[in-house]
C-alpha cells in the first residue's frame, strides 16, 4: 500500500489533532458570524427603541396620542387582512390550476410569478394610469357604457381603500402561489389518485384531500403574506395619501420626513409591527420545529397528468393579463404619450420620454446604482446564507448560538422594510460607521432584507439534497471545503440560481427602505421614480417604471441561464 503513503505521512503522531483547539476555533468563527449578523439586523432596531423610550418615552407619546392613530391602525389591519384573503384564495387556486396544465402548456406555470417581476412602484403607477377617477384609461373606456355615460369621473376610484386592497392582494397572490406550488410538490400524486379512484370529483378531491394536505403550507405562506400585507408601503403611499388613507408604514414615513426627523415617533409606530412580526416568526418556528423532519426522499411529486384541464390554463392566463399585462399597458401608453390624459392620442406617440430620462444623469446613475448595489448585495448574501444554512442544519453543537442565528436571519421577513430603513438611517448617520450618503448603507439594508430568502432557499435545497452525497464525499477523502465546492454547490446550482434571481428581482424593486436611507447623491430606480411621480411628470414616471421592469426581466433571464430553466420554478 505504498500508493497511499502520502496520506500516511501525517499519521504517526496520533496527538496531531487536539480536538478542543479546533472546536474552539469553530466556536469562535460561528460566534463572530452570529455577532456580525446581530449587529447588522438587531442593532438598528434596538437603537430605534432606545430613541423611542428616551426623553420619557417621547416617541411613544407623539406616535400614539395622535387622534388619527386609531384610524391608521384600522386601515392597516383592513389592508393586511383584505389583501391576505384575496392572495390566499387566488394563490391557491392558481397553484392548483398550474398542476392541471396540459403538458404542452407547462410553461404557463411561471406566469403567476410575474407580478413579482414587475416592480411594485411600477405596477401601482400603472394601475393609477388605468383607474384614476378622471384620466384613468379604463375608467374613460367604461364611461362609454350606456349606464355610466353620464358620469364625469369613475366609476372606479383607485384612490380608495377597497382598490388599494385589491391591488395589494394581486401582488401578494404571487407569493402565496410560490409557497403553495412548492407545497404541491410534497403531496404525492398517489394521495390524489386514490381519492379520484374512490369516486371524488375534481372539486371533491381539491376540497377533501388536496386542501387539507396543504394546510401546513397555507399556514406558513399565509403567515408570510400577512406580514407582507402589514408592511405594505408602496400602494398606500402612492394611492392613499391624497385621500387621507394612512397605514402604519406611511405614518412612519411621515414621521421620518418631518424636520427634524422624529425617529422616536417612527420607532414607536413601528413597534406593533415589530412585535407582531417577531411573534409570527416565533410561532412558525415552534410549529415547524426541526426542519429535518421535513426531508422528503424521492416519491412522486403531485402531478395530476391524468386529467389536464383547460380551465387551468384559462384562469392562469386571465389572472396574468389582469395582474401583469394591464398595468404594463397603462405604463406603455403614458410613456409614449406627451402627457397623461383620458384621451389616448396615438398620433403623437413617441419615445421622447425615454430619450429624456436617459439624457438625465440622475436617472442613469440611479439605474446603475440599483443594478450594482443589488448585485453586490446578492453576491454577499449568497455565501452568508450558505454559511448560515450550514450552521442551522448541521450545527446542533452550537446550541444557543444556532437558535439566535435562526431568529436573526428570519426577522427581516417579519419586520417591514420601512422600519429597517428608519433603523439604518438612525444607525449609520452616527459613529462608529457613518455610511449615510454612500451606497454602502443601501448595500447593508439590502443584505438585511434578503437574509431570510438567502437562508431559507438554501436551507431547503440542502434539506432536499440530504446528507448522503456530502458524506460519500467525506469518506472518499474530501475535506469540508472540497466537499462544499465540488459536491454540494454544484448540486445546489439551480437552487442558488433561483435564490439569486429572486433576490436580484426584489432588490432592484426595493422602494420602502431605499426611500429612507437614500441621500440626494445615492438614488436607486425606485426612489427616482417616486420623485418624478411627486413632480407630476407622468410620462417620465412611466418610462422609468418600464426601464425598471426591463432590468428585472434581464436579471431573471440571466439567472435562469445560470441556474437552468427550472431556476424560477425552484422558487
Partner 1 sequence: MSHIRIEGLTKHFVGKPPTKAVDDLHIEIEEGEFLVLLGPSGCGKTTTLRCLAGLETPSGGRISFDDQVVFDAERRINRSPDKRKIGMVFQSYALWPHMTVRKNIAYPLRARRLKQGLRNGWVEETAKMVDCVALLDRYPAQLSGGQQQRVALARGLVARPDLLLFDEPLSNLDARLRDHVRAELHEVHGRLGFTAVFVIHDQSEALALGDRLAIMRHGRVEQYDTPQQVFEHPISEYVAAFIGMDNRVVCTYQDGRWAAAGRPIGGSELGIAGTAPVAMRLRADDLQVTPCDASVGANMSSLDAVVVDAEYGGRHLDVVLDANGTRLFARIPSGVSDSWARGLKQNDPVRASFRQSDAHFFDDETGSGASDIAEPVLNAVDS
Binding site for partner 1 (CB under 8 A): 1, 3-4, 6-7, 10-12, 14-15, 17-20, 297, 468-469, 471-480, 482, 486-487, 490-491, 493
Cβ 400 to partner 1 shortest distance, Å:
15
Q: How many CB atoms lie within 10 A of CB 155?
A: 14
In degrees, to the nearest 5, what angle opens at C-alpha 105 toward C-alphas 100 and 110?
Answer: 85
Cβ 494 to partner 1 shortest distance, Å:
11
Contact 543, 353 (CB under 8 A): yes
Nearer to partner 1, 215 or 396 (CB): 396
Distance of CA 325 to the CA centre of its chain: 20
Cβ-Cβ contacts under 8 Å for 307 (sequence gap 6 or more): 100, 202
Cβ 447 to partner 1 shortest distance, Å:
29
**Longest alpha-carbon distance in the chain:** 97
Cβ 386 to partner 1 shortest distance, Å:
17
Cβ 498 to partner 1 shortest distance, Å:
17
User: Running DSSP on this structure, what letter comes out for residue 518?
Assistant: -
Cβ 305 to partner 1 shortest distance, Å:
20
Cβ-Cβ contacts under 8 Å for 569 (sequence gap 6 or more): 109, 110, 498
Peptide bond into 432 cis (omega under 30): yes
Strand locations in 380-462, DSSP E?
Answer: none
Length of the chain: 571
- Give the whole-angstrom CA distance, residue 157 versus residue 121: 18
Contact 553, 117 (CB under 8 A): yes
Nearer to partner 1, 482 or 536 (CB): 482
Nearer to partner 1, 311 or 485 (CB): 485
352 by Cβ neighbours in 10 Å (0-12 / 13-18 / 19+) ranks as: middle
Q: What are the backbone angles phi and psi of residue 495, rounded to the nearest 5°?
A: -65, -40
C-alpha cell, 437: 450618503
Nearer to partner 1, 169 or 569 (CB): 569
In degrees, to the nearest 5, what angle opens at C-alpha 293 toward C-alphas 292 and 296?
Answer: 90
Contact 392, 455 (CB under 8 A): yes
In degrees, to the nearest 5, what angle opens at C-alpha 276 toward C-alphas 48 and 570?
Answer: 105
Nearer to partner 1, 6 or 431 (CB): 6
Nearer to partner 1, 339 or 469 (CB): 469
Nearer to partner 1, 254 or 474 (CB): 474
Question: How crowded is the C-beta side of 191, counted as CA atoms within 13 Å?
Answer: 19
Cβ 297 to partner 1 shortest distance, Å:
8
Nearer to partner 1, 254 or 394 (CB): 394
Nearer to partner 1, 348 or 486 (CB): 486
Cβ 219 to partner 1 shortest distance, Å:
25
Cβ 467 to partner 1 shortest distance, Å:
9
Cβ 496 to partner 1 shortest distance, Å:
13
Nearer to partner 1, 21 or 197 (CB): 21
Amino acid at each position: 500500500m505504498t500508493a497511499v503513503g502520502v496520506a500516511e505521512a501525517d499519521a504517526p503522531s496520533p496527538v496531531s489533532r487536539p480536538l478542543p483547539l479546533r472546536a474552539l476555533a469553530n466556536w469562535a468563527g460561528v460566534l463572530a458570524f452570529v455577532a456580525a449578523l446581530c449587529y447588522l439586523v438587531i442593532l438598528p432596531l434596538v437603537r430605534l427603541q432606545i430613541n423611542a423610550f428616551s426623553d420619557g418615552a417621547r416617541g411613544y407619546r407623539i406616535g400614539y396620542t395622535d387622534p388619527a392613530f386609531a384610524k391608521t391602525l384600522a386601515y392597516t389591519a383592513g389592508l393586511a387582512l383584505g389583501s391576505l384573503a384575496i392572495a390566499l384564495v387566488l394563490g391557491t387556486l392558481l397553484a392548483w390550476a398550474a398542476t392541471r396544465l396540459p403538458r404542452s402548456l407547462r410553461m404557463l406555470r411561471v406566469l403567476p410569478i410575474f407580478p413579482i417581476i414587475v416592480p411594485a412602484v411600477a405596477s401601482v403607477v400603472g394601475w393609477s394610469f388605468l383607474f384614476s377617477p378622471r384620466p384613468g384609461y379604463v375608467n374613460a373606456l367604461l364611461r362609454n357604457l350606456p349606464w355610466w355615460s353620464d358620469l364625469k369621473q369613475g366609476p372606479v376610484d383607485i384612490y380608495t381603500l377597497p382598490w388599494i386592497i385589491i391591488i395589494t392582494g394581486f401582488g401578494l397572490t404571487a407569493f402565496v402561489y410560490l409557497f403553495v406550488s412548492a407545497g404541491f410538490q410534497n403531496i404525492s400524486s398517489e394521495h390524489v389518485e386514490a381519492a379520484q379512484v374512490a369516486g371524488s370529483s375534481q372539486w371533491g378531491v381539491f376540497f377533501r384531500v388536496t386542501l387539507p394536505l396543504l394546510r401546513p403550507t397555507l399556514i406558513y405562506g399565509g403567515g408570510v403574506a400577512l406580514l407582507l400585507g402589514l408592511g405594505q408601503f408602496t400602494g398606500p403611499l402612492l394611492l392613499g395619501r391624497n385621500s387621507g388613507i394612512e397605514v402604519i408604514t406611511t405614518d412612519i414615513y411621515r414621521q421620518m420626513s418631518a424636520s427634524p426627523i422624529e425617529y422616536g415617533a417612527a420607532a414607536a409606530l413601528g413597534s406593533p409591527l415589530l412585535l407582531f412580526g417577531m411573534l409570527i416568526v416565533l410561532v412558525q418556528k415552534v410549529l415547524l420545529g426541526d426542519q429535518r423532519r421535513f426531508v422528503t426522499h424521492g416519491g412522486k411529486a403531485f402531478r395530476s397528468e391524468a386529467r389536464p384541464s383547460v380551465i387551468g390554463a384559462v384562469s392562469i392566463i386571465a389572472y396574468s393579463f389582469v395582474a401583469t399585462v394591464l398595468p404594463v399597458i397603462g405604463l406603455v401608453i403614458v410613456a409614449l404619450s406627451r402627457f397623461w390624459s383620458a384621451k389616448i392620442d396615438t398620433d403623437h406617440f413617441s419615445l421622447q420620454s425615454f430619450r429624456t430620462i436617459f439624457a438625465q444623469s440622475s436617472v442613469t446613475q440611479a439605474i446603475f446604482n440599483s443594478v450594482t448595489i443589488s448585485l453586490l448585495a446578492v453576491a454577499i448574501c449568497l455565501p452568508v446564507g450558505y454559511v448560515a444554512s450550514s450552521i442551522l442544519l448541521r450545527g446542533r453543537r452550537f446550541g444557543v448560538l444556532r437558535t439566535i442565528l435562526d431568529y436573526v436571519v428570519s426577522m427581516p421577513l417579519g419586520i417591514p422594510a420601512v422600519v429597517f430603513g428608519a433603523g439604518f438611517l438612525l444607525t449609520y448617520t452616527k459613529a462608529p460607521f457613518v455610511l449615510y450618503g454612500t451606497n454602502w448603507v443601501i448595500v447593508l439594508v439590502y443584505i438585511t432584507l434578503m437574509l431570510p430568502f438567502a437562508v431559507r432557499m438554501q436551507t431547503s435545497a440542502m434539506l432536499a439534497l440530504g446528507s448522503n452525497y456530502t458524506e460519500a464525499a467525506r469518506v472518499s477523502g474530501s475535506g469540508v471545503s472540497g466537499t462544499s465546492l465540488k459536491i454540494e454547490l454544484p448540486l445546489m446550482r439551480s437552487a442558488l440560481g433561483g435564490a439569486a434571481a429572486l433576490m436580484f428581482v426584489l432588490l432592484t424593486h426595493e422602494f420602502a427602505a431605499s426611500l429612507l436611507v437614500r441621500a440626494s447623491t445615492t438614488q436607486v430606480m425606485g426612489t427616482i421614480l417616486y420623485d418624478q411621480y411627486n413632480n407630476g411628470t407622468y410620462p417620465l414616471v412611466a418610462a422609468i417604471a418600464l426601464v425598471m421592469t426591463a432590468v428585472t426581466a434581464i436579471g431573471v433571464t440571466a439567472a435562469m441561464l445560470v441556474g437552468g430553466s427550472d431556476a424560477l420554478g425552484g422558487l
